[in-house]
Chains A and B, each alone.
Chain A
């Protein structure tokens, strides 16, 4: 009996050796094909994202894919999109470097932890574009939404609408995250100009629609408020007014399509949508490709938010039937070249 297994084992070893030999052989041929590929003008983009199951991030990735597809000179978008910690995202970026991508578009989970790996990528001739959240190294191109302006713009609209007086609920994002801190800076700057405004409630929604809804219901049923500022958790907060049986108060939200729909269609609701487009990813892809094509691009691109409050403007950006949680505002001039339909289709090159 055991002789048979010995023979079997021998065969297994042979197969493994053959496999190794074959692998070594194909290694050389793989190198030659890459060399010839580099001569034509197509690029490979790598994407690293560390939050999955969040519609803002989903749309950001769709915008990257759409821009890569529409540009026509990208042969592949390598997507490393998973929920992971800092060490995991660093290892994702190193595997993108190892795969020899031409550019990496990265939404970093930390402002400093990625500096070394970004510098390593740049040393190896890879263009790195950091989108949405910033990093402190100057080796990367930064493309982000101006979060300080986001906080200030909405706050000023709200305080002005309230006539400079009243009680306001301040519903923030995640404590300690860069975007939240920057928005707070803007918010406080506006607040300093309106001494008649009192912040009666300050909560962190963690940018979760369910959290935001619960907290809003609690605030609405226990406190007398004249206005709400939200850090983008808007449509689920609006839904709580009828639940609590309270008249609408002016509300500040983001450019979530569902919120814009509510502003257009709800009797008695006033509010402003401050744009924080996930298409910043598309702008990031555009910057990466511009650099690869040899154009001169500014190291830092700050997208200024728009305050959308007028009915005609709201109607213009509203997209009928868009996935819940998606943002209406998709085309970012002068950076992106795609149309909203390309982003919604969410197809990359060759898909």
Chain B
């Protein structure tokens, strides 16, 4: 895992910088360790843990990861996007409608078009948020319903499809089920790594954090805050399109009646667990990835433990509140110390 490498780098550092390092990355490392522990634990709960089990977790978790990444980018830049679930349904329904019966090459072209379209559409939502000054929670609640409605217009009945190669890209198999997790791992790693690097190392990416932590200060130091926010919604939209593609690749057919709102709530829960602060300016995509996987993983684990899925939701809710409390406790202690 990527988390192991920084630990090695950190060793020669002095005590003080080690402390800074853990302050910065402690949550990320912790959440990766939690994921590994859960996977190991799960493997003891079921009779056999092999390629099939591993790849079903990765494949099933892909959409959760992209959706959480989308939410994380927007929240880090100081916004909130309740529309992500609706946009997922819209992108997967649109892809299902147009990719059905097309060869692989065409489906990839369509995917790129839909991805850009989703980015522009959600960037437009971001533009409305910045221009109208209506709270983001209200605007994106509206966009959630609009996306959901557009999806139903796009694909009134369950149906459509995609190409075999397209399904392989996200699931490692033309049928959406199999034992090969690698295509999905690559599909997750490349965009997330590129985005994480952009956000952490480049001026335009770092301005997301600047605007998220203090919009006025960022504006005074010459950052175009409105533009940064629009960009965050657009990047979020692109990630949501990836989540939509993954959902279509797994299911094989599009379904516009899927409840987008519950998908949105999953994304919000995942960024909370991933250590992204709602106040903006704090968080990392690298921590959101395992957090989303952990949340996805909850259902298989609890069902292996014999817990009813409806009770599982209660447990999931308690976990999120607990994580929020731990996170704010850590933040409070850090403030008191400094």
Interface residues of chain A, those whose CB is within 8 Å of chain B, are 1-2, 6, 9, 16, 19-20, 23-24, 26-27, 30-31, 34, 52, 76, 78-83, 85-87, 90-92, 94-100, 109-110, 112-113, 115-117, 119-120, 124, 175-176
> Are A34 and B44 in contact (CB-based, < 8 A)?
no
Contact of B17 with A by CB under 8 A: no
A112 to B167: give the CA distance in the assembly, Å.
Answer: 15
Q: Assuming A52-B310, A82-B309, is B252 touching A116 (CB within 8 A)?
A: yes
> Are A91 and B177 in contact (CB-based, < 8 A)?
no
A24's partner among B40, B178, B300 (CB-CB below 8 A) is: B40
* B101 → chain A closest CB, angstroms: 14
B303's partner among A23, A24, A80 (CB-CB below 8 A) is: A80
- Sample of 5 further A-B pairs with CB below 8 A, known A78-B303, A79-B308: A20-B36, A99-B303, A109-B255, A113-B253, A176-B157
Contact of B45 with A by CB under 8 A: yes
* A43 → chain B closest CB, angstroms: 14
Interface centre among A6, A78, A82 (most CB of B within 10 A): A82
* B229 → chain A closest CB, angstroms: 30
Chain B residue numbers with a CB within 8 Å of A100 are: 46-48
Chain B residue numbers with a CB within 8 Å of A79 are: 308-309
> Are A87 and B158 in contact (CB-based, < 8 A)?
no
> Are A97 and B52 in contact (CB-based, < 8 A)?
yes
A126 to B8: give the CA distance in the assembly, Å.
Answer: 45
Contact of B53 with A by CB under 8 A: yes
Q: Which of B36-51 contact A (CB under 8 A)?
A: 36-37, 40-41, 43-49
Chain A residue numbers with a CB within 8 Å of B300 are: 91, 95, 98
Interface centre among B53, B63, B251 (most CB of A within 10 A): B251
> Are B60 and A91 in contact (CB-based, < 8 A)?
yes
> Are B177 and A116 in contact (CB-based, < 8 A)?
yes
> Are B303 and A95 in contact (CB-based, < 8 A)?
yes
A-B contacts, 15 of them at CB < 8 A, read A1-B337, A2-B15, A9-B22, A79-B308, A87-B250, A90-B250, A91-B300, A97-B52, A98-B56, A110-B158, A112-B253, A113-B251, A113-B252, A116-B177, A116-B252
Chain B residue numbers with a CB within 8 Å of A120 are: 52, 177-178
> Are A112 and B53 in contact (CB-based, < 8 A)?
no
Q: Assuming A78-B303, A82-B309, A94-B177, is B253 touching A27 (CB within 8 A)?
A: no
A115 to B314: give the CA distance in the assembly, Å.
Answer: 32
B304's partner among A19, A52, A87, A99 (CB-CB below 8 A) is: A99
> Are A116 and B175 in contact (CB-based, < 8 A)?
yes
> Are B310 and A90 in contact (CB-based, < 8 A)?
no
Chain B residue numbers with a CB within 8 Å of A24 are: 40, 44
A27 to B47: give the CA distance in the assembly, Å.
Answer: 9
A115 to B22: give the CA distance in the assembly, Å.
Answer: 47
> Are B251 and A85 in contact (CB-based, < 8 A)?
yes
> Are B37 and A91 in contact (CB-based, < 8 A)?
no
> Are A87 and B251 in contact (CB-based, < 8 A)?
yes
Q: Give 1 or 0 for each of B1-35: 1 = CB within 8 Å of chain A CB.
A: 00000000000000100010010000000000100
* B258 → chain A closest CB, angstroms: 4
The residue in chain A whose Cβ has the minimal distance to the Cβ of B53 is: A98
* B38 → chain A closest CB, angstroms: 10
Contact of B222 with A by CB under 8 A: no
Contact of B299 with A by CB under 8 A: yes
* A153 → chain B closest CB, angstroms: 26
Chain A residue numbers with a CB within 8 Å of B60 are: 87, 90-91, 94
Q: Which of B230-271 contact A (CB under 8 A)?
A: 247, 250-253, 255, 258-259
Chain B residue numbers with a CB within 8 Å of A94 are: 52-53, 56, 60, 177
> Are A81 and B310 in contact (CB-based, < 8 A)?
yes
> Are B40 and A23 in contact (CB-based, < 8 A)?
yes
A115 to B175: give the CA distance in the assembly, Å.
Answer: 9
Chain A residue numbers with a CB within 8 Å of B158 are: 86, 109-110, 176
Chain B residue numbers with a CB within 8 Å of A30 are: 44-45, 47
* A1 → chain B closest CB, angstroms: 7
Chain B residue numbers with a CB within 8 Å of A80 are: 299, 303, 309
The residue in chain B whose Cβ has the minimal distance to the Cβ of A86 is: B251
A110's partner among B22, B37, B175, B255 (CB-CB below 8 A) is: B255
A97 to B303: give the CA distance in the assembly, Å.
Answer: 12
> Are B37 and A98 in contact (CB-based, < 8 A)?
no
Chain A residue numbers with a CB within 8 Å of B126 are: none
Q: Assuming A91-B300, A94-B56, A176-B157, is B251 touching A34 (CB within 8 A)?
A: no
A120 to B41: give the CA distance in the assembly, Å.
Answer: 24
A16 to B30: give the CA distance in the assembly, Å.
Answer: 10
The residue in chain B whose Cβ has the minimal distance to the Cβ of A25 is: B44
B252's partner among A16, A96, A112, A176 (CB-CB below 8 A) is: A112
Chain B residue numbers with a CB within 8 Å of A19 are: 37, 41
> Are B37 and A85 in contact (CB-based, < 8 A)?
no
* A165 → chain B closest CB, angstroms: 35
A87 to B309: give the CA distance in the assembly, Å.
Answer: 16
A97 to B313: give the CA distance in the assembly, Å.
Answer: 22
A52 to B313: give the CA distance in the assembly, Å.
Answer: 13
A161 to B33: give the CA distance in the assembly, Å.
Answer: 70
Q: Give 1 or 0 for each of B181-199: 1 = CB within 8 Å of chain A CB.
A: 0000000000000000000
B299's partner among A2, A26, A34, A91 (CB-CB below 8 A) is: A91
A94 to B175: give the CA distance in the assembly, Å.
Answer: 14
Chain B residue numbers with a CB within 8 Å of A115 are: 175
B251's partner among A23, A83, A90, A97 (CB-CB below 8 A) is: A90
> Are A90 and B37 in contact (CB-based, < 8 A)?
no
> Are B44 and A27 in contact (CB-based, < 8 A)?
yes
Q: Assuming A78-B306, A82-B310, is B177 touching A99 (CB within 8 A)?
A: no
